[in-house]
Every structure is written in C-alpha cells, then in structure tokens.
Amino acid sequence: MKDENGREYSDYDIDKLIEEYSHINRNDEPEQASQPPREKKKFVVHIDESLIDDSPQSEEPKPQSGGIYFSNYPKHRRSPDLQEKPAAEPEHKHMEKKAHKVMHGSRENAVKKVKNEIEKVGGKAAVGFLAFILISTILLSYVGITCLGDMLAINRSDENVTVDIPADATYSQIIDILKDNKLIKRKGFCKVFTKFRGFDDGTYLSGQYYLNSKMGVEGMLKDIMAAPVTADSISLSFPEGWTAAQIVEKLEKYDVCNSAKVLTAMKTGKYNYDFINEITDNKSRYLKLEGYLFPDTYDFYVDADPNYVITKFLDNFNSKWEDEYDKRAAELGLSRDEIITIASIIQKEAANTDQMKVISSVIHNRLNHQADYPTLGCDSTALYISNYVTPTVGEAQGAIYYSAYDTSAIKGLPPGPICNPGIDAIRAALYPSDTDYYFFAHDKAGNIYTASTFKEHKNNLVLIIKANSSTD
C-alpha cells in the first residue's frame, strides 16, 4: 500500500510502526495499571492523517479517503467539523520523529550521566590533587622556614643554654649537640650549610659554652671555634645565707666576671626553670633570682660569661629540690617561692642549724594566725634592704624596697627571699617543729629565747639584756 507521498508500506511495516508508536506512547506517559491485552488490529489500507480515537461509536463508519481501515475497525467518534481537516504530516513521520527524539534524548541523558560521573570522579581526583599540592606546599614552606631560622636566627628564642663541647669534636658532632640541646631544628640542612661555608675545616675547642638560638648556627659555630672562655679556672665557695650582692662581689674579686654584668644578667636574663617561671612578677621584689643561687662550691672559668655563671647556681638548686618538697609545700598551702622566702628568713635568723625548726614554727604559727599576729617582726628582712640593696640602688630606691620588705610593718611574708638558703633551712621551712611559740629572740652569744605570749616575750627580753651585760 502507498501513502499520499507514494511510499509503499507492507502489513509488516505497518505493524512494526504501530508497535513502535505504542512503545513511544508507553515511554512518554506515566505507567498505568495493568489492563487486559487489547485485540491486535489488522491494517487493510494505508496511513493517513485521520484521527484515531478509542471512544466507542454506535455505528461503524464507512471508509474515508486516506483513512486507516481495520478488519475489525475500532470504535471511534469524529466531530463533523473535523471531517475535512487539512492534510498534515503523515503519522509515520511523526512517529519516526518522536522515536528519534526519545532515542536521541536517552542517548543524551546517558552521555550526560557518564559525563557527570566522570566529573564527579575527576572532581574528587582534582580535590585530592589540590590537597596534596597544598599539604606539600605547607610542609615545604615549614621546612624552608625552619632552615632559614637555623641559618638566619629568624623567630628564635633568646633563652641561653649551657653546652659542653668534648675534645676533638667535629663540626658534624657539634651540630648534633646543638640539635640535642634544641638550639637548631634541621641538623641535616645545617651540616650541608656549614660545610658549604667552610666550617668543616675548622678546629673546635672543648669546653663549656653559653649559647642561644638567636645566634644562628653559624654564629654558634664561630663562638665555639674561638677560644673557650679561658683555660684558667678557679674554685669558689659560697656559704649559706649569702645574698646576691655578696656573691657577685666575690665573683668579681676573683676575676670570674664583672659584678655589675652579673646583676644585670640576673635582672634581664631569661632562665627556663619551673621554679623561676612560677614566680609572680612583683615590682616590689628586688631580685627574682635571690634565694635560688644555691650555696655551694663551684669551679668557674676566669672571665666567664655571666649567664653561664648564673646557670651553674640555678642548675645546682634545681638538683637539690626534691619532688617531696612540692608535695609538702602543697600540704602547707604554700608555693615553692614562699617556702624559699621562709627558708631565707630562717637562714638569717637562726644562730645554728638546731634552732631552725623552732624558728620555723614561730613563723608558721604567725602566718596561720594573722588576725592575732599580722606581722612577722623579723629584723633580718629590713636589714637585707639597708645592708645589701640600698648600697646598690641608692637611697631613694632603697627606701621603696625597705617599705616592702620590713616585716615589722607589712603583713605576712616579704615580696621575696632575703638571701640564698641552704638545704637545712629549706627543710626546716617545710618541716617546722610543733610548738605554740609566737616569739623568739637571741642574746649576743646566739642563745635563743622562745615564748608563747607577749608577756613571756617581755620577760625573755629582760633576761637577754642581763645576759648581754654579763658578756660585755
């Protein structure tokens, strides 16, 4: 059979076309509930623009020119005004276009889905790659910064560290020592850099060196390549109860270092010890390190670095302070600095070691009953300022310190220690005798007189006057 364009169609072609049309319609419209299979229509003639309607008709219409005829023609209704509808695009053309659109759209959708998946995978890969680049950049930047820090001393601490350089040490071994003491961060880079700079040919002398990372690796090596502080050394002893002023005076006397430089270092130097870091800043305090220059015998180089000298005292104190002392101080409700302050007063007030725990009991009793005994009344605290501080700082500044340290006027403890106590005084401060004494006094011979009440104390003072008179 032929359409109006002269194209021939067989029954098979028409069946196939109808099947495709049905498939298209099924894809284009929502899925419906299952229906009983419809009776297959058999084409008798060819396709035209005639409209097909499944609505029932009371009478089977006669064949129209250009219509589609079935052996069992479907019931349909047609409006009279549509009988002469102008010719339109053949139905098979319409179905072909629709089928193409569906198939093409499906292909486009499939391609789009694949592209989306690829983009997803590619996006993840891109994110991963960018993350890798970012992390690598950060790591390289950090490494670069730390290397520059070692070389140029950028963003480095000015905390001083005592370093021991053994005999016949190579530049590589010295760099290892600097790394172990946390003075540099990239020893591999430093070895390459210093070798490039010619430091591998240098001769390094053994000894103790006082270094800080602000010097940079090159500066530290230059310092070690120079002669050590001196080949000459001297042994000096410092008794318990000496003040910082007395210590620096002796250091200068024996050419260890200048007293003014040592005092300046005590005030301005940064020393990384827990017992120093715990001390609260107080403008009324004369020296932060007073109390921690542990009395002992030391070996010093002549013309030594002041910071190196101070560190030897502080290292010794740190080794003498035991963990049990921290626990005991906590039981007493006192800080380590307060214990050392009490110990310094005990050291100055006691005539001998045997008196220390008794004097400690008087101090603790007064501190624990400040409502009745607000002041300690120890002359040694005021004498510390007048005898050792004022000669250094002058009368005006000395008067300010005096008002802060005079325990006959202030409540409780002074701003800090008044000397450098020994281990016996420290232990006495931690473990006082169990007494009810609130007063003590000495005669010229060093004998101690204790009392629980002020009346008893007044009587003791009379006895002391008599004892002193008898010895004149």
Which pLDDT score, from 0 to 100, does residue 223 have?
74
**Other CB atoms within 10 Å distance of the CB of residue 114:** 10
The band of 139, judged by pLDDT with boundaries at 50, 70 and 90, is low
Q: What is the pLDDT of residues 40-89, one digit of tens each?
A: 444 444 444 444 444 444 444 444 444 444 444 444 444 444 444 455 55
Radius of gyration for the chain, computed over Cα atoms and rounded to the nearest angstrom: 51
3-state secondary structure of 161: strand
> Which H/E stretch holds residue 469?
helix 454-471
| Mean pLDDT over the full length of the chain | 78
Answer for the pair 3, 9: CB distance below 8 angstroms, yes or no.
yes
CA distance 122 to 50: 53
Q: What is the residue extent of each domain of the chain?
A: 1-27+39-88, 122-228, 233-437
On the question of pLDDT at 98 being above 60, the answer is: no
Top CATH class, 122-228:
alpha beta
3-state secondary structure of 162: strand
CA distance 224 to 9: 107
Which pLDDT score, from 0 to 100, does residue 270 have?
80
Which pLDDT score, from 0 to 100, does residue 191 have?
82
On the question of pLDDT at 214 being above 60, the answer is: yes
H-assigned helices in 269-407? 274-277, 306-320, 323-332, 336-349, 356-368, 379-384, 390-393, 395-405
DSSP annotation of 238 reads: -
Q: Which of 219, 148, 152, 211 is nearest to 182 (CA)?
A: 211
Q: What is the pLDDT of residues 388-430, one digit of tens each?
A: 999 999 999 999 999 999 999 999 999 999 999 999 999 999 9
Averaged over 311-323, what is the pLDDT?
Answer: 94
DSSP annotation of 441 reads: E
Answer for the pair 351, 386: CB distance below 8 angstroms, yes or no.
no
**CA 312, 317, 319, 320 torsion-angle sign:** positive
Query: CA–CA distance from 142 to each of 78, 135, 186, 188, 242 (Å)?
Result: 85, 10, 11, 15, 49
Q: Which of 376, 432, 443 is nearest to 407 (CA)?
A: 376
Strand partners, 442: 448
pTM, entire model: 0.58
Q: How far is CA 380 from the centre of its chain?
A: 44
